[in-house]
Chain A
């Protein structure tokens, strides 16, 4: 009977997640001493917990914690991830704006782990960069992402554009010259106008690799 309760309550899963009280844990561990089926479950859940992939953490911070020439691998993976969904938009952009050579576009990822209200990230760009593309995941679905100046006014359309992707992340495109001259403040905004700051970004020319 006890075994059936453990099974139906998914106790093995809760055990590995350290969710049981001291008494519950003791009862379950004593039960495990004689129940290979529950040991199997615990081992399976522990394996899942230990080996669970975390793409967000793997991608986190690399562009901002390492020199920019060390982050090209991440940038390449980012391009792969967002390229398909963004391609149509970029082609549409190309109709109204001069076509950008890919070497003139700097692409960055700004995951949640690397951003904060008080931080201003410097994005290293090449001297000939004309555009800076920034992907910002982890924005609550009801909020939108805008870029503002220091006084909180949204930047004009000539200096930046923003849009939401199918995966829920936001992509901002800045004029590289503008971003080199001063910071842009990232702000999430909900429908009633309440803002939440995500810090700011600024671009700076950095030397090429090698």
Chain B
């Protein structure tokens, strides 16, 4: 596995990771902002995926960036193109340390280092009010016209049944199962768009499939 996957998003591809690093001497603050804005959302998902609650994940997120920025300042990166991979590995190690209880509960982070970071890239959970998001999901469930689609989603996400069991009991092929998910994602994008949420290209991307 390499850490040099190309940036597939045209908007974010305008600044390759290595260009962010080579620019650090010119404008360190801007560098920090760029790195933070670009990587905070995927890294947050990495923590959430490991069943770390949002508050702790925010803390770990800051630790991740602090470690990365310190390394860039002191040693630099062997391969600047691997910045995303380096951040990812750092986040994974911190998540493991978190579950092992190796991290102090409150981290005394470098206030000066992060004070100027401006969050310009909100995640869906951050951008939409909790109640509104819950309402949107309820609307999604009621607007799925095929009862089978609702059942698939409930069993897959609420009861956390394996897809093989769901497919078998409902006589669905893998393609049909994925089509159910695709339809649900489409509907959810439409609902978010109706709520006026098109942040980060949410609706547009999902409509494109």
A27 interfacial by beta-carbon distance below 8 Å: yes
A97 interfacial by beta-carbon distance below 8 Å: no
What residues on B are CB-neighbors of A2 within 8 Å?
5
Whether A46 pairs with B48 at a CB distance below 8 angstroms is yes
Whether A29 pairs with B8 at a CB distance below 8 angstroms is no
Point out residues on A near B: beta carbons under 8 Å: 2-3, 7-10, 13-19, 25-27, 29-37, 39-54
What residues on A are CB-neighbors of B182 within 8 Å?
10
B163 interfacial by beta-carbon distance below 8 Å: yes
Whether B1 pairs with A48 at a CB distance below 8 angstroms is no
Whether A44 pairs with B189 at a CB distance below 8 angstroms is yes
Interface residue tally on B, bucketed by range: 35 or more
B85 interfacial by beta-carbon distance below 8 Å: yes
Residue in A8, A9, A46 with the greatest tally of chain B CB atoms within 10 Å: A46
Q: Which of B24-32, B37-45, B103-111 contacts A (4 or more CB under 8 A)?
A: B37-45
Q: 8 A-B contacts, Cβ less than 8 Å apart?
A: A10-B178, A33-B39, A35-B5, A41-B185, A47-B137, A49-B157, A50-B125, A51-B133
What residues on B are CB-neighbors of A14 within 8 Å?
163
Return B170 CB to nearest CB of chain A, in Å. 13
What residues on A are CB-neighbors of B157 within 8 Å?
16-17, 45, 48-49, 52
Return A17 CB to nearest CB of chain B, in Å. 6
Whether B85 pairs with A30 at a CB distance below 8 angstroms is yes
What residues on B are CB-neighbors of A44 within 8 Å?
124, 185, 188-189, 192, 202, 206
Q: Name which residue of chain B comes closest to A32, CB basis.
A: B42
What residues on A are CB-neighbors of B181 within 8 Å?
10, 13
Whether B6 pairs with A52 at a CB distance below 8 angstroms is no
Complex: how many Å from CA A46 to CA B48?
9
Return B110 CB to nearest CB of chain A, in Å. 23
B196 interfacial by beta-carbon distance below 8 Å: no
Given contacts A13-B185, A34-B12, A53-B141, contact A40 B45 (CB under 8 A): no
Q: Mark B133-145, 1 if CB is under 8 A from A, else 0.
A: 1101110110000
Return B111 CB to nearest CB of chain A, in Å. 26
Partner of B84, one of A7, A33, A41, A53: A33
B171 interfacial by beta-carbon distance below 8 Å: no
Complex: how many Å from CA A207 to CA B192?
49
Whether A33 pairs with B88 at a CB distance below 8 angstroms is yes
Whether A54 pairs with B124 at a CB distance below 8 angstroms is no
B173-209 contacts to A, CB under 8 A, are 178, 181-182, 184-185, 188-189, 192, 200-202, 205-206, 209
Whether A48 pairs with B12 at a CB distance below 8 angstroms is no
Q: Which 6 pairs from chain A and chain B are nearest by CB?
A: A33-B84, A51-B137, A43-B124, A34-B7, A32-B42, A49-B157
Given contacts A29-B42, A48-B157, contact A37 B141 (CB under 8 A): no
B11 interfacial by beta-carbon distance below 8 Å: yes
Q: Name which residue of chain A comes closest to B128, CB basis.
A: A47
B1-53 contacts to A, CB under 8 A, are 1, 3, 5-9, 11-12, 39, 41-43, 45-46, 48-49
B150-176 contacts to A, CB under 8 A, are 153-154, 156-158, 160, 162-163
